[in-house]
Structure 1
Amino acid sequence: MSDLHDRHRAVTPDWLALYYEDPIEITHGEGRHVWDADGRRYLDFFGGILTTMTAHALPEVTKAVTEQAGRIIHSSTLYLNRPMVELAERVAQLSGIPDARVFFTTSGTEANDTALLLATTYRRANTVLAMRNSYHGRSFSAVGITGNRGWSPTSLSPLQTLYVHGGVRTRGPFADLSDAEFIAACVEDLRDLLGHTRPPAALIAEPVQGVGGFTSPPDGLYAAFRDVLQEHGILWISDEVQTGWGRTGDHFWGWQAHASSGPPDIVTFAKGIGNGTSIGGVVARAEIMNCLDANSISTFGGTQLTMAAGLANLNYLVEHDLQGNARRVGGLLIERLRAVAAQLPGVREVRGRGLMIGVELTRPGTDQADPQAATAVLEAARRDGLLIGKGGGHNTSALRIAPPLSLTVAEAEEGAAILEGALRAAY
């Protein structure tokens, strides 16, 4: 593998990160497992950064892709496209947004770019509200609204971004408050902020912050924010790139934990819907989606091949109630990990819902992040046959656990046992 690693470093940017001291090449997968080039099998608890939503090599998706590839792979959005229309119909219906329109892109970054274009054009404003510790993609505009220093390489931006409290429940100035007091304090902070600036175009927020370490506010925060936003005509964009499609178990969309004021004005999505194929998208009310007065297309967004994959994947997810499985199996996994954490001084918090679980590590006896321990746990888990991720806004000290939603109870127990061993070795 060292030869491929050397070739990788010779032709790719230094900032293109690889996991593991000895990086692995994943050659194939099946179900919840993948294999590397040496034939080693791993239980996959990260799914290609939450993209493999149902299962590796899911027969229904493989069949749909193969059959579509035998007909036509791509024609662009300049021609009628039956798979794109069929998937758009499903997404519009599932979105909860009235009179919804859907635009497909190739990634979550591009989806968020599109949402920002729509919101700033519709509102005739270039100021955007975003959450501290947030991540919305790697493009120039998405970096400009990302509130996580580790993923924001420049302060230059076409947008003026104002950052709001609330995305992280257990850190920051309001951490010691009750949930109700926390929400009230964040709302008051938002009101105060809006009193000092011209009305922004939109608030963009992840219901559960992904790269930020799977942190989230108390349920209802964004509904309370929405009431304030509506007083000023400000749009609410819910970034569902990681939280959509039932991953959180309790809800199909992350925003539904904050649903008392109805759906967001704009929802962005990507990752899991394609089960590894490149699909992103935006769904919004027709008046917002149609506000652009210039031509626009997407060359590769909505291509027949990815749309066929997405439609087959979504059908499988709904028909097999993988949202319910995420709730049941994810609940068991969280409780298992919390029982382990209670015995280890370096585990600050096990958080999350469904199959979107974060384990935050700190130096024992302190509240300081422990990125070295996070790296050590990642390596130890890999040696014992488990792939996980890491993230967090405090020096990347949170482990990220997000297996395919078809995870079985036995696989959850296996993964928890490996992770327990890795954590005990670190602490």
Structure 2
Amino acid sequence: MTDDLLGRHRSVLPDWLALYYEEPIEITHGEGRHVWDSDGNRYLDFFGGILTTMTAHALPEVTKAVSDQAGRIVHSSTLYLNRPMVELAERIAKLSAIPDARVFFTTSGTEANDTALLLATAYRNSNTILAMRNSYHGRSFSSVGITGNRGWSPTSLSPLQTLYVHGGVRTRGPFAALDDYDFVAACVDDLKDLLGHTRPPAALIAEPIQGVGGFTSPPDGLYAAFREVLHERGILWIADEVQTGWGRTGEHFWGWQAHGRGGPPDMLTFAKGIGNGMSIGGVVARAEIMNCLDANSISTFGGTQITMAAGLANLNYLLEHDLQGNARRVGGLLIERLRAAAAHVPAVREVRGRGLMIGIELAKPGTDEADPAAASAVLEAARAGGLLIGKGGGHDTSALRIAPPLSLNVAEAEEGADILESALRSTL
């Protein structure tokens, strides 16, 4: 970095603002599934700005929509009618499958989850929230207060009383040795027992696949079984679809649909991929829940015209090109390729995921002890080989996270798998 950008970064930005790599890189531009750094190095991008670049870098349809809208008006706030916001809300309400749905746009997934918590606690007149162990829901005061991952929870203070539920991680914890049927039954029994010891909570918030937690998930049907218990008691179910939405899992458009018995959640939150890099988040809820607030509320930047134009163009491209189907096909190939490669690496504890949302958990060979140093080493080796991936996990960040743009093709999947296999073999 010729102008010491790293030094300048460290002198004006917080110490806790993490950077990847021992020698951090500046990404200057991208195209398709590739990005370039300021030294001219080209990388295959398997992380997409933390799952935000959902379709492709510099997608012409999105960049044109942004440019055209910028030439008209960029922003006016929610105090005025906004055609792109209404149009995108109409599309999302229909896609959500939530009856009589209303949509509120925010600028991030954190803010979307904040809004869902506000709605749930107001609607139910309760500040108690059920959340999953190993979960992550954002970095605001209230969303940190329900996050079940200590690596992303810097304070124990919270405006909410949070009770943590078993089930988000299939292969760890007291029920890990059970088969899927008994695992679900044990988690449901645990939930019922928990509810017997507390005043009625407002809601359960859960990621269908835990993102920051390392792409872990329960057996299909767990949240449907939870919903039956919750519904009997009037407790709401919030599906945090910030990372799982828009077809990334391949098999379903929303992650909750893997647990679909009994219908959609009461609320779902979304963000990241819908904007393809533009700042869009939001909440979908039944009208009676969305309209329960009895005080004024607007959003200055949520639903601003330029981000809505990007979201509409991106969503149209995703649907017209069946990127959900592509995630299923190419993701299925990629995960099998990675499982085959990992079979010969003793430090790989598990390869898991769905579609183009794949996690590789590392542990010290012969144990279940997390190995964050190994994850960091593989991350570095992959970058040296021309591949960008992420990391996460609830056990000291020992899982590699793989989430390419949904337009990834077979040749790129094979190329990325080859680089990652080499990185695993050379470092572990």
Query: Which TM-score applies when normalising by structure 2?
Result: 0.99
Instruction: Measure, in 2, the Cα distance between the counterparts of 1:157 and 1:369.
Output: 29
Instruction: Measure, in 2, the Cα distance between the counterparts of 1:222 and 1:341.
Output: 30
Q: What pairs up with 1:340-419 in 2 under 5 angstroms?
A: 340-419=341-420
Instruction: Measure, in 2, the Cα distance between the counterparts of 1:230 and 1:236.
Output: 8
Instruction: Measure, in 1, the Cα distance between the counterparts of 2:205 and 2:365.
Output: 35
2:261 is paired with a residue of what secondary structure?
Answer: helix
Q: Does residue 166 of structure 2 align to residue 165 of structure 1?
A: yes
Instruction: Measure, in 2, the Cα distance between the counterparts of 1:288 and 1:308.
Output: 27
The one-letter amino acid paired with 2:94 is Q
Q: What is residue 101 of structure 2 aligned with on the other side?
A: 100
1:366 deviates by 1.0
Q: What is residue 40 of structure 2 aligned with on the other side?
A: 39
Q: What is residue 68 of structure 1 aligned with on the other side?
A: 69
Q: What is residue 85 of structure 1 aligned with on the other side?
A: 86
Q: What is residue 230 of structure 1 aligned with on the other side?
A: 231
1:138 deviates by 0.1
1:147 deviates by 0.1
Q: Does residue 264 of structure 2 align to residue 263 of structure 1?
A: yes
The one-letter amino acid paired with 2:164 is Y
1:322 deviates by 0.1
Q: What pairs up with 1:22-421 in 2 under 5 angstroms?
A: 22-421=23-422
2:217 is paired with a residue of what secondary structure?
Answer: coil
The one-letter amino acid paired with 2:418 is A
Which whole-Å deviations, capped at 9, do the CAs of 1:331-365 have from their partners, x for residues lacking one?
00000000011111000000000000000000111
Instruction: Measure, in 1, the Cα distance between the counterparts of 2:11 and 2:385.
Output: 30
Instruction: Measure, in 2, the Cα distance between the counterparts of 1:132 and 1:92.
Output: 29
The one-letter amino acid paired with 1:51 is T
Which whole-Å deviations, capped at 9, do the CAs of 1:47-100 have from their partners, x for residues lacking one?
000000000000000000000000000000000000000000000000000000
The one-letter amino acid paired with 1:362 is A
2:260 is paired with a residue of what secondary structure?
Answer: helix
Q: How many residues align?
A: 427
Instruction: Measure, in 2, the Cα distance between the counterparts of 1:261 and 1:345.
Output: 41
1:231 deviates by 1.1
Instruction: Measure, in 2, the Cα distance between the counterparts of 1:188 and 1:204.
Output: 18
Instruction: Measure, in 2, the Cα distance between the counterparts of 1:340 and 1:381.
Output: 14
Which whole-Å deviations, capped at 9, do the CAs of 1:94-122 have from their partners, x for residues lacking one?
00000000000000000000000000000
Which whole-Å deviations, capped at 9, do the CAs of 1:103-151 have from their partners, x for residues lacking one?
0000000000000000000000000000000000000000000000000
Instruction: Measure, in 1, the Cα distance between the counterparts of 2:72 and 2:186.
Output: 56
The one-letter amino acid paired with 1:59 is P
Instruction: Measure, in 1, the Cα distance between the counterparts of 2:58 and 2:341.
Output: 32
The one-letter amino acid paired with 1:128 is I
The one-letter amino acid paired with 1:416 is A
Instruction: Measure, in 1, the Cα distance between the counterparts of 2:102 and 2:391.
Output: 35
Instruction: Measure, in 2, the Cα distance between the counterparts of 1:261 and 1:124.
Output: 25
Q: What is residue 8 of structure 2 aligned with on the other side?
A: 7
The one-letter amino acid paired with 1:195 is G
1:154 deviates by 0.2
Instruction: Measure, in 1, the Cα distance between the counterparts of 2:390 and 2:90.
Output: 33
Runs of at least 5 residues in structure 1 that lack an aligned partner in the other structure: none
The one-letter amino acid paired with 1:180 is Y
2:139 is paired with a residue of what secondary structure?
Answer: coil
Instruction: Measure, in 1, the Cα distance between the counterparts of 2:208 and 2:253.
Output: 12
Instruction: Measure, in 1, the Cα distance between the counterparts of 2:292 and 2:366.
Output: 54
The one-letter amino acid paired with 2:427 is A
Instruction: Measure, in 2, the Cα distance between the counterparts of 1:388 and 1:100.
Output: 36
Instruction: Measure, in 2, the Cα distance between the counterparts of 1:363 and 1:260.
Output: 38
Which whole-Å deviations, capped at 9, do the CAs of 1:176-223 have from their partners, x for residues lacking one?
000000000000000000000001000000000000000000000000
The one-letter amino acid paired with 2:103 is V
Instruction: Measure, in 2, the Cα distance between the counterparts of 1:367 and 1:306.
Output: 44
Instruction: Measure, in 2, the Cα distance between the counterparts of 1:367 and 1:230.
Output: 36
1:135 is paired with a residue of what secondary structure?
Answer: coil
Instruction: Measure, in 2, the Cα distance between the counterparts of 1:211 and 1:179.
Output: 23
1:41 deviates by 0.4
Instruction: Measure, in 2, the Cα distance between the counterparts of 1:351 and 1:118.
Output: 33
1:10 deviates by 0.2
1:68 is paired with a residue of what secondary structure?
Answer: helix
1:12 deviates by 0.4
1:261 is paired with a residue of what secondary structure?
Answer: coil
Instruction: Measure, in 1, the Cα distance between the counterparts of 2:101 and 2:228.
Output: 21
Instruction: Measure, in 1, the Cα distance between the counterparts of 2:402 and 2:386.
Output: 14
Instruction: Measure, in 2, the Cα distance between the counterparts of 1:234 and 1:73.
Output: 39
Instruction: Measure, in 2, the Cα distance between the counterparts of 1:60 and 1:367.
Output: 46
Instruction: Measure, in 2, the Cα distance between the counterparts of 1:172 and 1:267.
Output: 27
Instruction: Measure, in 1, the Cα distance between the counterparts of 2:87 and 2:224.
Output: 31
Query: Which TM-score applies when normalising by structure 1?
Result: 1.00
2:170 is paired with a residue of what secondary structure?
Answer: coil
1:116 is paired with a residue of what secondary structure?
Answer: helix
The one-letter amino acid paired with 1:60 is E
1:426 deviates by 1.6
